[in-house]
Amino acid sequence: MAYAIVTDDNVYNIASNLLEKDDLNVSYDIYNAIEISDEDFLKVKKNLAKITVSGDTATITNLEGPFFLDEEALKNYIDTVLNKINLFINAGNTEKILYSDINEYKNYLDNLNLSTITFPLDSTWEQYCEDNEITYFHTLQIP
């Protein structure tokens, strides 16, 4: 079972399992954990769907592409991902269970040559990573 971490009907994080949920930087006095299926978690993780919440109910809505029409659009998206990763890394979260994998993803993104990708990219960046066996994280997974 996976989880959506929410407050005031806004999704704050997603977690693939109980261990990751418990390792997030959140207080469950303020946030609520709503169970979602593993299948829905993977759709959201791959950015193929968005998650919305109303009360204790999470709704998954599929998204359609093309997702990145050109290199600049993907670069802007990756910069947003790197900003979130850098906040996590710079906060000294070395004890977090996903730290090593997130740091590895950061190193990959820092060295990525976008000119090797064909545009328009008819998949999400996360699906591209999945298809190419690249370890990746949706920004909602980063504590």
The parent domain of residue 49 ranges over: 2-62
Kindly tell me if the per-residue pLDDT of 35 is higher than 90: yes
Q: Is residue 95 domain-shared with residue 128, that is, in the same domain?
A: yes
Q: pLDDT per residue over 61-92, tens digit each? A: 999 877 899 999 999 999 999 999 999 999 99
For residue 88, give the H/E element and its range.
helix 71-90
Task: Give the pLDDT score at 56.
Answer: 87
Q: pLDDT per residue over 98-143, tens digit each? A: 999 999 999 999 999 999 999 999 899 999 999 999 999 999 999 9
pLDDT band at 28 (very low <50, low <70, confident <90, very high): confident
Residues, the chain, total? Answer: 143
Q: Is residue 48 domain-shared with residue 104, that is, in the same domain?
A: no
The number of distinct structural domains making up the chain is 2
